[in-house]
Each structure stands twice: as C-alpha cells, then as structure tokens.
Amino acid sequence: MAEMTYLQAISDALREEMRADDSVFCLGEDVGAFGGAFKVTDGFIEEFGPDRVWDTPLAESAIVGTAVGAAIEGMRPVCEMQFADFVACGFDQLVNVAAKMHYRQGIAVPMVVRLPSGGGFSGGPYHSQNPEAWFIQAPGLKVVAPSTAHDAKGLLAAAIRDPNPVVFMEHKHLYRRAKGDVPEGRYEVPIGEAALARTGDDLTVIAYGAMVPLALEATDDIDGASVEVLDLRTVYPLDVDAILASVRKTSKVVVLHEATRSCGVGAEVAAIIGEHAFEDLDGPIVRVTAPDQPIPFSPPLERATLPQVDTVKEACRELLAY
C-alpha cells in the first residue's frame, strides 16, 4: 500500500494499464509534452513515446471520433477532455456512434473518456459543470464517478478493460484533496457496485464523487444520529440493490449531488426509491443539489450555488425531526 492523492491514483492506473497492455494508449489536448492540464499524464511521453501518448488538436469531436475508430480496430484508447464541459463538442461521436455500435453492429468499443468535472475553484460556467446526466440517458455508455483514491485507480482500470465505452467522471476538487491508501500494481473496482462509506441506522445519505467526503463531514455529528453514507461510485448502471437495502434499513434518505437538480442522477435515485421502497420510508425523499443555473465565477456566489456542509446538515436535521 502507498498513500496517494486522487490524481496520483488516476495517473497510476493509466500507467499500469499502459505498461501491461500495448493496446492501451492515451490522447487529448496537451497530454504529451505538457503532461496534461492537471498533470495526470506527466512523464508519460518519456516512458511510452509519442506513438502511445498523442497530443491532439483542439478538436474534441476528432479526439472522440479517433478513439472510436481505434477501439473498433482493437485498441483501448483513453481520451482526456481538459475539462468535462468540453465533451459537448464530442457529444455526437460519443453518444450517437460509440454508444450504439454494439447494438447496431455487434462491435465492441473499448474506450474511456476521462472528464475532469465539477466546481469549487471559481472556474466559472465553462469549466465547472457536472455533465453526468447527459450520458446516463444514452444506452450503451457506462458512467463512473469515484470519490476516493482507491476507487479512482480501481475504477479506471476496470473502465479501460471493459469492452464498452465508459465515461470516467473525475472531480477536480478531489485531485489533490482526497488521499488514501492505494494498493500497488493492477486491481479493479467493479463497475456498477456501490459502497458504504459509513454504516448507520437513522438516515441514509446517497452521494457520489466529491459529495461523498462532504456528506461524511456534514453527518459526522448530527445530534448523535447514526447516519449511513452510500457512495454510488457508478451512476450508470446504478446499484439498485444497494440503494434499496440502505433505504429499507434507515427509512429516511437524503440524495446529494453537485450537478443541477432536474433530470439527473438524484432524480433517478429518488424515482427508484419511490417505486420500490415507498412503504419503507418514514419521511419524504430529500434532495440536496445545485440549482438549475450555471456556476458563477465569484467565490461567494459559487459557494452559495453548490452544496455545502451546512446545507447538508440542515437537510439531515430537518428529515431526522420529521
């Protein structure tokens, strides 16, 4: 075991998979000589050379489209979007080509698109989005969103080895803040399995990505209540069994995510609970999310927009008192 940051764990996973499998390569803007916008691929071009670490033009559609073609031919490309927001330029290639190739032609498309997502650093409306909801409605894509360094490495390894296209949501706020023990060598965290970040009996908070450590901090001490925190880890496909098991145990649930409120992961989780565990509930399903608006540049306005520790505490206290 070695202590790594979330960013180091992602870098380690990619490096390990590239060392073990010559079909794995990475491509994106500035991933080579510069080492990536956030330095995930720092040193990669020296180790693997320009044939496996591609510096591409500023053309997300071309990046994703090239990856689709390479994956169809048996390679395992890992694309980096400098910011998750920019994947909109490659949306057609990802959603209308990569996601549908297996259904239409029976062809595997083993590729990963890494999306540095989320706010909390005053990046403004074009560098702070959480676009996972764009992809959970696209059949053929898997979408993962780890919250810990351990899971970041294991889920990226699993995503690279998966025969399907995987969207890998890596939250920028966690890059150097989240640290933990990470096993050396190659291992996988299964896609589609949630994990209990903390067990509890009185209330469940369901979260993923950067909201998991926020949930743990906010519910560490709420008037002695025992609060369970369920880390989804994968937002599509969702681990329905884990969601229902936790809700049926505690009977009260807060769904927490940083993305905007409408038509997102939280809405789907709430619908699953309402459909399958309504009679187990002892209160309304509460959602804590960002409002349906762009993320502001201003630090105070950004803090007012995104979920905070006090916001989560208040929501939990109100539901516990229901």
The answer to whether 252 and 230 are in contact (CB under 8 A) is: no
Task: List phi, psi (to 5°) of 255.
Answer: -105, 125
- The domain spans of the chain are 2-182, 195-320
| Average pLDDT of the residues in 12-37 | 97
Give the DSSP H or E segment for 157. Answer: helix 149-161
Q: Show the tokens assigned to 109.
A: 């498309």
How many CA atoms does the CB half-sphere of 60 hold within 13 Å? 17
User: CA nearest 134: which of 96, 164, 91, 173?
Assistant: 91
Averaged pLDDT score across all residues of the chain: 96
Per-residue pLDDT at 120: 87
CA dist., res. 233 & res. 136, Å (int): 14
Q: Is the pLDDT of residue 111 over 90?
A: yes
Considering 102, 127, 150, 276, which one is annotated as catalytic?
A: 127
Tokens 């469940």 belong to residue: 204
Cα dist from 123 to 129, 211, 224, whole Å: 9, 18, 37
In 3D, which of 210, 110, 82, 206 has the Cα closest to residue 152?
210
pLDDT in tens, 255-274: 999 999 888 999 999 999 99
pLDDT at position 190, please? 98
pLDDT > 90: percent of the chain: 96
**What phi and psi, each to the nearest 5 degrees, are found at residue 64?**
-70, -40
pTM above 0.75, yes or no: yes
Q: Is it true that 2-182 and 195-320 share their CATH fold?
A: yes
What is the model's pLDDT at position 138?
A: 94
Tell me the pLDDT tens digit for each residue of 115-124. Answer: 999 998 889 9
Taking only the tens place, the pLDDT of each residue in 133-187 is 999 999 999 999 999 999 999 999 999 999 999 999 999 999 999 999 999 999 9
Place of tokens 């681990």: 239
Residues facing 144 on adjacent strands: 168, 234
Q: CA 149, 150, 151, 154 torsion: positive or negative? A: positive
**Beta pairing partners, 98:** none
Q: Is 257 a catalytic residue?
A: no
pLDDT of amino acid 1 = 85
pLDDT in tens, 285-304: 999 999 989 999 999 999 99
pLDDT of residue 262: 85
Could you tell me the two tokens for 318? Answer: 């109100």
What's the token pair of residue 200? Answer: 């509890």
Average pLDDT over every residue of 218-228: 94
- Topology at the third CATH level for domain 195-320: Rossmann fold (3.40.50)
Q: Which CATH architecture has domain 2-182?
A: 3-Layer(aba) Sandwich (3.40)
- Tell me phi and psi for residue 253, to 5 degrees: -145, 135
Please enumerate in sequence order all residues whose Cβ is within 8 A of that of 278, keeping only pairs 6 or more positions apart, or say none.
none
Q: Which residues have CB under 8 Å from 310's CB, separation 6+? A: 218
Write out pLDDT tens, residues 77-105.
999 999 999 999 999 999 999 999 999 99
